[in-house]
Structure 1
């Protein structure tokens, strides 16, 4: 079994776990969509209690939205990075107008403005948009300042987001959604993540309760890449809570107990 368009063989797919082009989804297995389950109110209340009782022990460091896209009718980056083509597309829409061939990343936001919008080319997909909010607040501080956190998206960034949702430009299949090289990213091509700093003395139920959220698409794990970012002076354990393509209602439930409005 192999893809007749890009030539990816079944053995290659089993080893890499990556699609070679948008036609691979008709050849190799597509992950089943999770059931639409509501997070039990009792579980949400327990988690909220942990944040309330341990608010001085839990610090909100940052939260991020990542959106990945591949050019329509093209091989994926493993075969063709298409960096020049992506830069030209972005330049035509007002981004990367004076791009340099050796550069594969671009900060779209103005310096010192939060959140930070950043574009990355290559890697697993042709282009990745990351939106990063630096918080550096404990739970109590977050509740007191949430009303003042920026919620409006600038005209320039709204235009960029609309570009990432123009189906004709990107690999897309009806019934599945946007197509990525990684099968688990199919659909929205989106992952949201929150970095928490955990200090000694946190409620012992913290990790056991968060593990119960895995069946709703919310995962928790120690962070391995957070040192690349500026996270203040925090030096304790850093964990990442993340969710891929989660249903909107689940995200709203979870954001509500955290005191966050959402990532976009």
Structure 2
């Protein structure tokens, strides 16, 4: 597992105008063991941990109680674990390119997660399903013939699956269009959330499209409906970009080049400002307003996160009186390095 760098699957991701990445997450629980929030015996899962380890012997086992706070924060920023897991998780199992992670003792006993860029979400589900079937060979799941997989949160009962797609939607984010879109999606059992899912705010006009309903539909139906909605949203985003280019080209150019200049020459930048500027430049490149051969939007959005920057500061052994200010300065330094500024 890479420590201070982005995950290999993101490092190798091919940039596309709107769709960034996709994820499948399966929630599973062990039969006859209380849900994590109900457990009073810390050793309740000991009887099955050895069995789980045999399935993941080719993965890196990461014990949460052995990690420092900043190491846990880095794993959250990589989307390999959740904020909740940093507080109560036991072990995570992570594959070599960090496209698969399994959390033991999150909200549920087991959370299986597969991620990828440029990969059909159906293929990510197949990968998660194979892991799921391997686990089912060694443990007994909590399953009901009527309701399906039983989970700690009632909204996950059924398939126990959350399928999500990360989308860059700068044009639809203008005005109130994104709010109307989100409202319409809710009626169909889907939602638009921020970059880190539930409770998070959008950064750099990046939104996570995912299903809310897991009961009453099969996994294949959920994925099919998600893929259809994704295509419709991409079509609307590209149509809005075309209108911006034809009707407001000067304004778009001004925004793109202002943001490019800030990224290239600023000496202090907040996370929100940097993400917004990166989004503007990404839009400018996609609209062929600005030429830049090796702009890695998805990778750089990760690199500007606080834990990544704290790791950079630690590696350089820099002295500072305010960590927040040091992170903002290091973020600007990183952008100047990447874009060839001074």
TM-score range, shorter-chain basis?
Answer: 0.5 to 0.7
Aligned pair partner of 1:223 in 195, 217, 224: 195
**CA 1:157–1:129 in structure 2 vs 1: closer, same or farther (change >3 Å)?**
closer
CA RMSD of aligned residues (A): 4.0
State the Cα deviation string for residues 162-217 of structure 1 (Å, max 9, x = none): 13566971111120111111111111111112222222576764441342121221
CA distance in 2, matches of 1:106, 1:208: 39
Taking structure 2 as the reference length, the TM-score comes to 0.43
Query: Match for residue 60 of structure 1?
Result: 19
State the Cα deviation string for residues 69-118 of structure 1 (Å, max 9, x = none): 1111111112336443342121343547885764611113x337xxx111
1:162 paired with 2:133, answer: yes
Query: Match for residue 41 of structure 1?
Result: none
Query: Match for residue 148 of structure 2?
Result: 177
Query: Match for residue 93 of structure 1?
Result: 55
Kept in 1, the 8 Å contact 2:35–2:108? The answer is yes
1:212 paired with 2:155, answer: no
Q: Which structure 2 residues correspond to residues 77-88 of structure 1 after superposition, within 5 A?
A: 77-80=36-39, 82-88=44-50
Aligned pair partner of 1:239 in 186, 191, 207: 207
Aligned pair partner of 1:249 in 206, 221, 229: 221
Taking structure 1 as the reference length, the TM-score comes to 0.54
Aligned pair partner of 1:128 in 82, 87, 111: 111
Comparing both structures, which one devotes a greater share of its residues to helix? 2
1:118 paired with 2:104, answer: no
What's the offset of the Cα at 1:256?
3.6
CA distance in 2, matches of 1:75, 1:251: 30
**CA 1:192–1:173 in structure 2 vs 1: closer, same or farther (change >3 Å)?**
same
**Unpaired segments of 5 or more residues in structure 2?**
1-15, 66-89, 233-342
Kept in 1, the 8 Å contact 2:101–2:113? The answer is yes
Larger radius of gyration: 2
Query: Match for residue 105 of structure 1?
Result: 92
Q: SS of the counterpart of 1:162? A: helix
CA distance in 2, matches of 1:157, 1:252: 16
What's the offset of the Cα at 1:61?
2.3
Comparing both structures, which one devotes a greater share of its residues to strand? 1
Kept in 1, the 8 Å contact 2:30–2:139? The answer is no
Structure scoring higher RCO (CA < 8 A, sep ≥ 6) equals 1
Count of residues paired in the alignment: 182
Kept in 1, the 8 Å contact 2:55–2:135? The answer is no
**Unpaired segments of 5 or more residues in structure 1?**
1-56, 136-145, 229-233
Q: SS of the counterpart of 1:169? A: coil
